[in-house]
Structure 1
Amino acid sequence: MIRLLLGILGEEHSGALRRTVALMVARSAAEGLSYALLVPLLRALLADDPARAWLPLGAFAVCVAVTGVLSHLSAVSGFRCGGELSRALHHRLGDRLALLPLGWFTPARVGEVSGLTSRSVMAAMSVPAHRLQPLISAVVVPLSVVAVLFVFEWRLALAALAAVPLVWAAHRWTGRSAAAEDKEQARRSDEVSGRVVEYVRAQPVLRAGNRSGERFRLLDDALTARWRSDRRAALAGVPALLGMSFTVRAAFTAVLALAGALALDGRIGGAETVALLILAARCVDPLLSLAELGAVMRSSRGELTRIQAVLSEPPLPVSGESAVPEGNAVALTDVAFRRGDRTVLDGVSLSVPEGGRLALVGPSGAGKSTVLELVARFHDVDEGTVRIGGADVRDMDEDTLMSRIAVVFQDVYLFTGSIEENVRLARHDASAEQLREAAAAARLDEVVARLPHGWQTQVGEGGTALSGGERQRVSLARALLKDAPVLLLDEATSALDPRNEAGVQEGLEALVRGRTVIMVAHRLHTVRQADTIAFLDEHGRVAEWGGHDELLARDARYAEFWRIATSGAA
């Protein structure tokens, strides 16, 4: 457990944990020594001259005082270490999640990530703060007592020591019998978290179907499965707890019987017998607590293992020396990309000269948005290359790549904060004039002007305080403010009404001038304004490539798409 914690924390944050463990071991050793002093103390008190008890009594008092001081220091250190652990884990998880490819973030990961950043981190934090001291005491105090027994009566010490492997075997059996159930509990808990998020997001659909008052079956099933998993885990732990309790009590009974036999045989005195039995009895409680502590620590270890698994997930590989693009042309060569068993793109080759505009059209699921994601290196290609300015995006560091790209996706996410803060995410150092120009180009200034708090209007979690069109304008203003030479637009005006779309389109025209643009669009005027159009078919292949008039003249897939779109517009 401690090694696992040290590995997760890394050298930067491991010092606090090492100090905490050292203090806890010292505290437990001092407690064990105080119990050891009971032997000479009771021997002196029950002897003919009780006045000799002052020296062991003074030593006992000093040990108790030292134990109290160390208890305070170790408790404070444990809480501080827990806080440091929580902060370090949140930072490390955040840093790692930011480096993982988007393909890692499947819908099933929603509950897992939520559980990691809440339940798992809290479980890890509680180890040094609450759980480590009882565990260390349960191990160190009995070992200290056994060491004292060797000093005063080696036969009792051997009897107590013989029980150690039995107790350890029972403890291991307890852990193994419940390990599988612990893993199942964690999986069910993640599923419940994901279903709760899904239930909240599904409220518009449920209410539109007049089913808001009904129980959500998927969430209900997940909760029921979690309850059954908890019940199985509790039942599975009963035999192990009983076995541990029986082993500890049987070992104490054996030591008690041996002590009685030695006392009756006259090999040890009455005072020593009483003192040694008190010492042996003191071992029972911490050893009995090992079963419960083991279950708690096993659960914490499982959470730590889950955190370590995420921290060990390989990020997108980074080249040792970052390549520097020469220009802003974009080229995809023989690109293949797969999600699981499904081939999304197959042998795609596309090129956009610097300052050119490429429109991607085709049926849903053809991989149009995936092309944008590969250019931005949200994923790595399975085959082929993606280049910007002649440099492979895999050879460019993140700062170099992202400084050249501005992205506007169809699904806009805004962070909790003001409109201004969300726009400034693109450039924190932008001037007020640059901010206003970007807002005017995206027609965001109209939104800001009619809101009571203007730029300081809070957008809510995910931007829920704004309409879909208003969120899209914030996203467009953000891209405009970044002023990157390569633009990736995925249905950039899809959430705008026709009147405002025309205004935003004017701003986009000013933005794209002189820049390399790859756009996914179904709007007719957007497609026609592209220099080149690529039609991707349902198999993720480039079926056609050329200018608008040229593709219409071929009267193939693109022409059919155009006729359908034109008739729909009519």
Structure 2
Amino acid sequence: MIGELGAVLGQEHGARLRRSLLAMTVYGVLQGLSFAMLVPVLRALLSGEAVGPWLAAFAVVVAATAVASYVQAQYGYAVGLAALRTLYHRLGDHVAGLPVGWFSADRVGRLGQLVGKGVMDVMSVPAHLLQVVVSAVAAPATVLVCMFVFDWRLGLAALLTAPFLWLAFRWTQSLVQRSDTAMDDAGAEGADRVVEFARQQPSLRAFGRTADGYDLLDDALARQRSTLRRLLRTTLPGLGTVALTVQLAFTAILIVGCSLALGGAVDVPELVGVLVLAVRFTEPLLAAADVGGELRMARGSLRRVKAVLDTPPLPVAGPATGPATGPETGPATGPATGRARPGEPSIELDDVGFSYAERPVLRDVSFTVAPRTVTALVGPSGSGKTTLTRLIARFWDADAGAVRVSGNDVRDYTPEDLMAQLSIVFQDVYLFEGTLEDNIRLGRPEATDEEVREAGRLARVDEIAERLPGGWQARIGEAGATLSGGERQRVSIARAMLKDAPIVLLDEATAALDPENESALIDALATLARDRTLLVIAHRLTTIAAADQIVMLEDGAVVERGTHQELLDLDGRYAAFWTERRRARGWRLTQPA
């Protein structure tokens, strides 16, 4: 476990961890020596010998033990805090580089459990648990050596109990390990369901599911409770066995000592001192038994942290080897930070294939979005339209083929350089807790207040600011809770306008909006698309018909491609799709006769 902890902390804190272990060991040895000094002190007191020199030596050892205790505690807490800080930074940096596909629902819950309870478990190892365990080894070992010095037969009796103590500890640890994974799974699911229950109150109340409870949450909490009970039932026998074994070890030493005293092999003062030493021999072992379960669970958390850190991130392009040359690269706006330098703003997909967990989603997809044109992606739900936009943004890497942005494979860009080419407006908008202005500024943090508000005005967010108390500084709640869906979309578009990237990926989500928000969004989208390369997942018939190119997807493959009129003349799947959408536009709800 020490090696795993050192690997997670890295070389920067490895030396500090080793010094902490050395200080703990010294403290354990001095603790054992202070226990051993009781034997000559008691012998002198009970036999009438001069006790002063022994008391002075005992005082020196106790003082040294107190100093060592303070030093090792300071080292332990320092390493614990370093572990806490390092793990949060390493996990945060590493998770930011993982493909978005890694963040499945169950993994998000586990990650939340890990950065909360898991990291605190790991921190407790150097801060507290290691000291108990090291003392439970160093102090009894020192006492055992001293017992051999005082009487080898008592020392041998204590030594013979060691294998039984070790077996009891190992058995207890195996019991804890058996339940640790199940406890972590139940905790992660319970945390997920609590957050889900809080966030989905509007839906739950709409269907009257608050009075009777939310079954998924109830079941998750019930599983967590039953798992905890099972953990207690499983581990309590082990802890009892350890305590019993320790007491039996002391009893064995007591029996041997009494037998020697009755036979005249040792005198009574020495026997009393050695028996006091035997008590001190077993005390650290009992303390270790108390924290054994915590240590095992901390080890499980440490391994889960290491598993996340060992997950390979998306490969990142290395530094540029020289300046871009040639007319096709376009004007350089700053120093090169990756191997790829962007050219004309275009998108190219070349025989792209992709699968979710072995389930094929895209196959042999090829088309090009020319600079400063509009390409509309159309097709039935589940045909792979949104997945394509995620691949272009490199939320995942394609399993086959190549995705190119502005003339370069997306894998040849650094994440910063690729995102500088793209503005993304997806259907599911997430706004952060903060002000209207804060959420727009996310598109370009260094933008001036005037630029932020101009982007907001173009997206007609200024109308929202006028309505809210506080205006641009109005706080909009977690996930933009105080705004409607259409208003959140306006803020999202304002972000994209402020970013001012040459390529826009857009999931046009206006079909279910009220007329006011739809009108505002149509105007904002028209402004956003001006002089930019636009790839849009199109829902509105006017957007589809006006596109320079239409790509029809079905079952993850391109089945037709061309302009609106060309595809209508082809009278294929797009023509049937168009006819069906036009017919659906006239649907309306009526009262039954």
- In 2, distance between residues paired with 1:504 and 1:235? 59
- In 2, distance between residues paired with 1:12 and 1:264? 59
Q: Deviations over 1:244-282 (max 9, x none)?
A: 233222222222222223333333332222111111111
Tell me what 2:469 maps to.
Answer: 452
Answer yes or no: is 1:347 the counterpart of 2:364. yes
1:451 to partner: Cα distance: 1.9
- In 2, distance between residues paired with 1:563 and 1:476? 30
- Bigger mean CA offset, 72-81 vs 118-127: 72-81
Q: What is the aligned counterpart of 2:570 among 530, 554, 557?
A: 554
Ranges of 4+ aligned residues in structure 1 off by more than 6 Å: none
Q: How does 1:329-340 map to 2 (within 5 A)?
A: 329-340=346-357
What amino acid is the match of 2:208? N
What amino acid is the match of 2:564? H
Tell me what 1:379 maps to.
Answer: 396
- In 2, distance between residues paired with 1:69 and 1:345? 67
1:382 to partner: Cα distance: 0.9
Tell me what 1:44 maps to.
Answer: 44
Q: Which runs of 5 or more residues in structure 1 are unaligned?
A: none
Distance 1:410 1:292, change over 3 A: same
Tell me what 1:271 maps to.
Answer: 269
1:160 to partner: Cα distance: 1.5
Equivalent residue of 2:396, what SS? Answer: coil
- Contact 2:204/2:210 (<8 A) preserved: yes
1:16 to partner: Cα distance: 4.2
- In 2, distance between residues paired with 1:286 and 1:389? 67
1:407 to partner: Cα distance: 0.6
Q: How does 1:483-494 map to 2 (within 5 A)?
A: 483-491=500-508, 493=510
- Contact 1:171/1:290 (<8 A) preserved: no
What amino acid is the match of 1:261? S
- In 2, distance between residues paired with 1:254 and 1:566? 91
Q: How does 1:43-442 map to 2 (within 5 A)?
A: 43-50=43-50, 53-321=51-319, 322-442=339-459
Tell me what 2:483 maps to.
Answer: 466
- Contact 2:345/2:502 (<8 A) preserved: yes
TM-score, scaled to structure 1 = 0.95
Q: Deviations over 1:494-537 (max 9, x none)?
A: 57533343343333333323322111120122222221010111
Tell me what 1:31 maps to.
Answer: 31
Answer yes or no: is 1:521 the counterpart of 2:538. yes
Tell me what 1:5 maps to.
Answer: 5
Distance 1:491 1:507, change over 3 A: closer
Tell me what 2:21 maps to.
Answer: 21
Equivalent residue of 1:143, what SS? Answer: helix
Equivalent residue of 1:534, what SS? Answer: strand
1:441 to partner: Cα distance: 1.5
Q: Deviations over 1:190-229 (max 9, x none)?
A: 1211222222233222211122201222222222222222
Q: What is the aligned counterpart of 2:581 among 534, 540, 565?
A: 565
Equivalent residue of 2:469, what SS? Answer: coil
RMSD: 2.0
1:67 to partner: Cα distance: 2.4
- In 2, distance between residues paired with 1:10 and 1:434? 43
- Contact 1:493/1:501 (<8 A) preserved: yes
- Contact 1:31/1:141 (<8 A) preserved: yes
- In 1, distance between residues paired with 2:235 and 2:449? 64
Equivalent residue of 1:335, what SS? Answer: strand
- In 2, distance between residues paired with 1:432 and 1:241? 63
Count the aligned residue pairs.
567
- In 2, distance between residues paired with 1:126 and 1:557? 62
- Bigger mean CA offset, 76-85 vs 311-320: 76-85
- In 2, distance between residues paired with 1:148 and 1:494? 84
1:492 to partner: Cα distance: 5.1
Equivalent residue of 1:12, what SS? Answer: helix
What amino acid is the match of 1:243? T
Percentage identity across aligned positions? 48
What amino acid is the match of 1:183? T
- In 2, distance between residues paired with 1:474 and 1:459? 11
- In 2, distance between residues paired with 1:14 and 1:561? 63
1:153 to partner: Cα distance: 2.0
- Bigger mean CA offset, 546-555 vs 365-374: 546-555
Equivalent residue of 2:360, what SS? Answer: strand
Distance 1:519 1:41, change over 3 A: same
- In 1, distance between residues paired with 2:479 and 2:216? 24
- Contact 1:463/1:471 (<8 A) preserved: yes
- Contact 1:533/1:547 (<8 A) preserved: yes
- In 2, distance between residues paired with 1:160 and 1:494? 80
- In 2, distance between residues paired with 1:199 and 1:450? 30
- Bigger mean CA offset, 264-273 vs 87-96: 264-273
Q: Deviations over 1:84-106 (max 9, x none)?
A: 32222222221122111111111
What amino acid is the match of 1:541? A
- Bigger mean CA offset, 261-270 vs 360-369: 261-270
Distance 1:429 1:320, change over 3 A: closer
- Bigger mean CA offset, 145-154 vs 245-254: 245-254
Q: Deviations over 1:324-374 (max 9, x none)?
A: 233222111111111123211111112111222111011111110111000
- In 2, distance between residues paired with 1:173 and 1:203? 46
What amino acid is the match of 2:21? V
Distance 1:419 1:15, change over 3 A: farther
Distance 1:153 1:494, change over 3 A: farther
What amino acid is the match of 1:478? R
Q: Which runs of 5 or more residues in structure 2 are unaligned?
A: 320-338, 587-593
